[in-house]
Structure 1
Amino acid sequence: MKTFFLLLMSICIGTAATAQEQLLKLVTCEGKAQGTYYIVKYLAVDTASMRDRIDSVFAVIDHSLSLYKPGSLINQFNATGDVKMDEHMRTVVEKAIYTSKATQGIFDITVKPLVYLWGFGVTKPSFRGVPPADSIKKALSYVGYRYLSVKGDHLTTTKKGVQIDCNGIAQGYTVDVLGKFLEQQGIQHYLVDVGGELCAKGVNQQGKNWRVGIERPAPGDTAYEPIQAMVELQNNGIATSGNYRRFFDQGRTRFAHTIDPGTGVALHNQIISVTVMAKDCFTADAFDNPLILMGVEKGLKFIAQHPAYGLEALYIYKAADGSIKEARSPGFRYFGIF
């Protein structure tokens, strides 16, 4: 499970609601799924809750991609190195491989052995600390997206023992699936939030664009201030990765749950969070982990050099003097009020 810093907001800006939109009512569905919360807000004439149907969407995706669910397709693959994928798993795996190639392996779903080695896996570790160098080296021998082979709906591995963990991308995918589900019900105005990964379309009940707030941690501890910036969503997605919700401290170094698949070492730079905006939440979620691993300078350079990916990002990081600083790509300022 990733770390998130976004708060769902209903304060919005934009144009006045049309007469037709004024007839629509705001419906809110809330619940627990994928180890976190979800909030779905949408406008509809029929105000009957769709929570049961939304929960069913989660159940289908969990059968495919949940490491927590015994017998899921991903667990079948991790046990045997061979699985016939459903549409959900195939879409996520293909996107993951695409992102791995785009980031030269900085994103890699075969990182599962390292995630567990560092104590950030599904099962609670008996010990959490920096693993021995030889253990990291051994785990790294099973890491590499090139060990994965996709032929049609079949996923196999070319090296025995390779396992995958899609938690760094599957939640953003789920957000977009829920958005498409709402559209299939004739809903054109919605905001979907799954653990802080969001997508939005249309306007809110006031006929204005949806907005979300980004939290900012206080210097020197794990607390956070409610709002750092307001970000407006206009038919796009947003995802955040960071280091102050799942971590451990060893000495003067903080190690977060994001693992570098190149070195096998947990994130321990001065970046507190990176918030990524893209055309959809799936894409934003795919790139937030590699961007936080790249660091501020390399991350912003990557965004500038690859405009086709449609990424914008806001970094929040700790400076050498302990103060909290920000850096963002040029396009990010157009989405928010700072």
Structure 2
Amino acid sequence: MKGIILAACLLAGLHTAAQQTVTISGKAQGTYYMVKYLSKDTTSLRPEVESLFRQIDRSLSLYLPGSLINRFNEGEKVVMDVHMRPVIRKAQEVSRITGGLFDITVKPLVDLWGFGVVRHQKGKPADAEIQRTLQRVGYDKLLIRSKYLLKKQPGVEIDCNGIAQGYTTDVIARFLQSRGIRNYLVDVGGELMAMGHNDKDQPWTVGIERRQEDTARPEKGWLRLTNRAVATSGNYQRYFDEGGTRFAHTIHPKTGEAIHNNIITVTVTAPNAMTADAFDNALILLGVEKGLAFIREHPELGLQALYIYKDADGTVREKYSEAFFEVQ
């Protein structure tokens, strides 16, 4: 029996040795991307990967004039394409599960606070402006009817930036699978999907943000993944300060307020990148204790999370769900 096991291990090693690590990287969707995979065929897949980015942008990019999402925001309805359909359905599902803490109709509020496509820093909007804008927000104001996406009232607009990069990561992962590639790491702007192992026959190791005692900014940590996705959302990159309060780009869809809680970052792992990407903002809004309780109460979602936050005296701390650092 030992001989059989040894032979199997040697064959696995030879199989891995016959493959090479291929890396593709570049700029897309306003950020970077990196695709790393093992293959005997080292012919670059860059043209196909970048074609996928262009297809998704034509569907979901707010920055591309004439995109499908912009046509919806400017009109009343659209016929959803192969990319918009799964993103909208997933967004509505996450909205229901989180009680509306994740909501793609938050776009009017994002624009109002100055974090949208047209950036501005006018400061905190007046309460009356926030209340007026909230009347155009709510995932229940969208209607999916067969292939159509419709608005239940005028003025509803959607922003899929909180889920689209995770979706893109998954699309590229499925493309690699379709080419017979079983060992890969896909990273689109920090939304990652890992499958299989690296060229050393070890789980993929990815950088994450961990606690750092002497500053509000996180430091680098590491996470090992074999069949898992990871996404991080933080409040230290896009924000403005006013009246001693720091307002970050995450907007609460129920109150209309830009978030100003004690969370620095939350890193989420999930079975796929779209799920991790969608839930990271909701978990920030829930906060540390409620967020970790939400994960325990919904084991069917397959979520794990690491919070970095400031306690009452300003000390930077971290807290994470039970299985977060297990090889996943």
TM-score, length of structure 2 as denominator length: 0.94
Q: Say whether residues 1:286 and 2:278 are aligned partners.
A: yes
The alignment of Structure 1 onto Structure 2 pairs a total of residues equal to 319
C-alpha contact (below 8 Å) 1:246/1:257 kept by paired residues: yes
Which protein is bigger by CA-based radius of gyration? 2
The whole-number CA distance in structure 1 between the counterparts of 2:301 and 2:226 is 17
Partner of 1:99: 94
Aligned with 1:270 (options 259, 262, 275): 262
The whole-number CA distance in structure 1 between the counterparts of 2:55 and 2:223 is 31
Partner of 1:31: 26
Counterpart code for 1:287? F
The whole-number CA distance in structure 1 between the counterparts of 2:208 and 2:132 is 38
Partner of 2:235: 243
Partner of 1:72: 67
1:48 shift after superposition: 2.1
Q: Say whether residues 1:230 and 2:225 are aligned partners.
A: no
Deviations 1:179-228 (A, max 9, x none): 00011111111000011110011111111110112124756766543x2x
Partner of 2:203: 209
C-alpha contact (below 8 Å) 1:197/1:239 kept by paired residues: yes
Aligned with 2:35 (options 33, 40, 61): 40
Q: Say whether residues 1:54 and 2:54 are aligned partners.
A: no
Aligned with 2:176 (options 182, 185, 190): 182
Runs (4+) off by over 6 Å:
none
Partner of 2:161: 167
Deviations 1:13-43 (A, max 9, x none): xx99621111101111111111100010011
The 1:294–1:223 alpha-carbon spacing in structure 2 relative to 1, beyond 3 Å, is: closer
C-alpha contact (below 8 Å) 2:211/2:317 kept by paired residues: no
C-alpha contact (below 8 Å) 1:198/1:237 kept by paired residues: yes
Secondary structure of 2:180's counterpart equals coil
1:251 shift after superposition: 2.5
Q: Say whether residues 1:332 and 2:291 are aligned partners.
A: no
The whole-number CA distance in structure 2 between the counterparts of 1:64 and 1:74 is 6
Unaligned runs of 5+ in 1: 1-14
1:331 shift after superposition: 1.6
The whole-number CA distance in structure 2 between the counterparts of 1:221 and 1:260 is 26
1:95 shift after superposition: 0.3
Partner of 1:5: none
1:65 shift after superposition: 0.4
Secondary structure of 1:199's counterpart equals strand
Partner of 2:76: 81
Partner of 1:139: 133
C-alpha contact (below 8 Å) 1:188/1:202 kept by paired residues: yes
TM-score, length of structure 1 as denominator length: 0.91
1:124 shift after superposition: 2.1
C-alpha contact (below 8 Å) 1:246/1:256 kept by paired residues: yes
Deviations 1:254-310 (A, max 9, x none): 111110000000111010011111111111111110000000011011111111111
Unaligned runs of 5+ in 2: 1-8
Partner of 2:187: 193
1:52 shift after superposition: 1.7
The whole-number CA distance in structure 1 between the counterparts of 2:60 and 2:122 is 25
C-alpha contact (below 8 Å) 2:193/2:273 kept by paired residues: yes
